[in-house]
Amino acid sequence: MGFFFVENKSTDKHLKGLSPEFLRKHECNVCPLNELKDLKHPKMGATGAKNPVVYILGEANGKNEDEQGKQFVGKSGRVLRFRIPKEWDAKIRWNNSVNCRPPNNDTPDNVALQCCRPRLERDIAASKPRAIFGFGAVPLFQITKQTGINLWRERRIPVDIAGHRCWFYPMLHPSYILHKRKFEPRDINSYGCDEEFAFALDLKRAFAEVDNLPEPLIHSVADATAGIELLTDINAIATRLNQVASDPSVGVDLETNCLRPYSDNAKILSMAFSGKKYTFAFPVDHSQAQWTKLERKQLDVLIKRFLYESSCRKVSHHLPFELEWFGHQFGTRCFYASDWHDSESQAYILDARRGSASLDFLCLQYFGLNLKEISGLDRKNLDKSPINQVLKYNAIDARYHRLLYLEQAKRIKQEGLQEVYEHQLRRIPALVLATMQGVPVDQQIVEKLKKKYKQRADQAAKAIEQEEVVKEFEEQKGRKFNPGSPQDVNYLLKTILNLEIESTEKS
């Protein structure tokens, strides 16, 4: 993989000291489920179509599945089968992440998942489905190493399973729907809970598009690093900036030593640009940069000229960051000298779920590439990291700012969201300008409000302290109750008051 890209060899605490390679090599021989007795169908293989269009993947067999030797035939299985169109019956293959029923219907642990992985990969590679529908958190983790099924549902991810490329659709597990139901649906257009409505829509959409899916686009580490140039010569930088200046779109990324550009030691460590043909990065004020004073001044001239005179669309991910640094260093008129675009804003327009707009998340969704796994850099200490490593890291980000922008632009156009995106985009320069100018603060008003609300907060705290349930909490815990702590409030409501609630938050 090269000196910069390293595989993560850290021990997984969930594997009980064993390596994934060892577990996959020995499969059933080292699997904890291999010792189970009284199973009617141990090591149950996949059932259904031999050459399916859709491969349905669950977590593990339950009691009914083990008794009948068929997947998804229990209560939760019926929730799923009820939502599958009849015409798909002969086009589906059924399987589970582990092929033995865990004791007490427990969630399979990571050791069992690793042991079963080769068996699953062989079956998928042999049956060659167009899409895998994975139900629940376990298939999501086994196939993609990701967690957070509610964040990933309603998306599709390109995956490579033992050389077979297809699409993976994460979906809620039907047992979760069963748990949430307030009543059993009367017909196919009835839903026992909001979650079942979402579950049905996810299935309907996936079945509707699976016949016309594009070829999965999966990038390797070699793809991510191909052709990257690390430039330390002023003339070479000038040449490349001139060459990408007229490209339709250019990815732009900065690496800095802090979040905001206003402190005395704040500096841009490096810059990277990625156009249609060239992707390159160069040091700016990194501690290992070796510019002469004249070269450093020339570099500023080249950057400013590119910002103000180039005709290309400039694309960043989280554009406010780049604009604030460029505006501080080179003047805020560069905000309007050419078109700026933001792949993060695109992602927000397409799906506003919190946590799904990071570059790492989106590169996995669109390119099947896990950026976190290919970079060995300490992102919080870039100024002391080897300069070539920083430049490669910088250049890869610039490349995927542009590529992600292009992929999401297609979806925005297809879904008729161009006007919404442009509205969001227009806000960014204005907000950055307002941030840079700051908000005037009247300290007298601040002190007045502080005194007013502190008094009210103190009164509320005293009232809470007098509650019997709070006194009981403090007796059990041996410490003061903190009403601003979600953990304390959860314990008080669930354990002491025995209320059935899912979660609490500070507000």
pLDDT tens profile 429-442: 999 999 999 888 88
Once rounded to an integer, what is the mean pLDDT over residues 237-245? 98
Per CATH, the homologous superfamily of domain 17-212 is Uracil-DNA glycosylase-like domain (3.40.470.10)
Phi first, then psi, for residue 283 (nearest 5°) are -75, 150
- Evaluate whether 427 touches 304 at the Cβ level (below 8 Å): no
**How does residue 9 score in pLDDT terms, banded at 50, 70 and 90?**
very low
User: Is the pLDDT score of 25 beyond 50?
Assistant: yes
Where in the chain is CATH 3.30.420.10? 221-437
Average pLDDT, the chain: 92
User: Is the pLDDT score of 12 beyond 80?
Assistant: no
Residue 32 corresponds to which tokens in the numbers above? Answer: 């904890």
Residues 283-337: tens digit of each pLDDT: 999 999 999 999 999 999 999 999 999 999 999 999 999 999 999 999 999 999 9
**How does residue 374 score in pLDDT terms, banded at 50, 70 and 90?**
confident
Residue 24 pLDDT: 87
**How does residue 504 score in pLDDT terms, banded at 50, 70 and 90?**
low
User: Is the pLDDT score of 1 beyond 70?
Assistant: no
- Evaluate whether 245 touches 311 at the Cβ level (below 8 Å): yes
Once rounded to an integer, what is the mean pLDDT over residues 146-152? 94
User: Is the pLDDT score of 152 beyond 70?
Assistant: yes
Nearest to 42 by CA among 108, 97, 95, 98: 98
The rounded distance, in Å, linking the Cα atoms of 490 and 496 is: 9
User: Is the pLDDT score of 507 beyond 70?
Assistant: no
All residues at 6 or more sequence positions from 485 whose CB lies less than 8 Å from its CB, including other chains: none
Residue 253 pLDDT: 98
- Please, what is the angle between helix 319-330 and helix 418-437, to 10°? 40
Let me know how long the chain is.
507
Burial 340-372 (b: 16+ CB within 10 A, else e): bbbbbbbbbbbeeeeebbebebbbbbbbbbbbe
Residue 14 pLDDT: 60
Residue 307 pLDDT: 98
DSSP, res 6: -
Position with higher pLDDT, 274 vs 40: 274
User: Is the pLDDT score of 363 beyond 60?
Assistant: yes
Choose the weakest-confidence range: 92-101, 170-179, 361-370, 494-503: 494-503
Residue 366 pLDDT: 97
Longest dimension (CA), the chain: 80
User: Is residue 131 exposed (0-12), middle (13-18) or buried (19+ Cβ within 10 Å)?
Assistant: buried
Percent of all residues in the chain with a pLDDT value above 70, rounded to a whole number: 95
Position with higher pLDDT, 19 vs 161: 161
Strand partners, 272: 253, 281
**How does residue 2 score in pLDDT terms, banded at 50, 70 and 90?**
very low
User: Is residue 3 exposed (0-12), middle (13-18) or buried (19+ Cβ within 10 Å)?
Assistant: exposed
Report helix, strand and coil shares of the chain as percent, to nearest 5. 50, 10, 35
Nearest to 280 by CA among 247, 326, 321, 324: 247
- Give pTM, 2 decimals: 0.83
289: left (phi over 0), alpha (psi -120 to 50) or beta: beta
Strand partners, 48: 93
User: Is the pLDDT score of 487 beyond 80?
Assistant: yes
**How does residue 250 score in pLDDT terms, banded at 50, 70 and 90?**
very high
User: Is the pLDDT score of 375 beyond 80?
Assistant: no
Position with higher pLDDT, 325 vs 489: 325
Where in the chain is CATH 3.40.470.10? 17-212
| 221-437: CATH number | 3.30.420.10
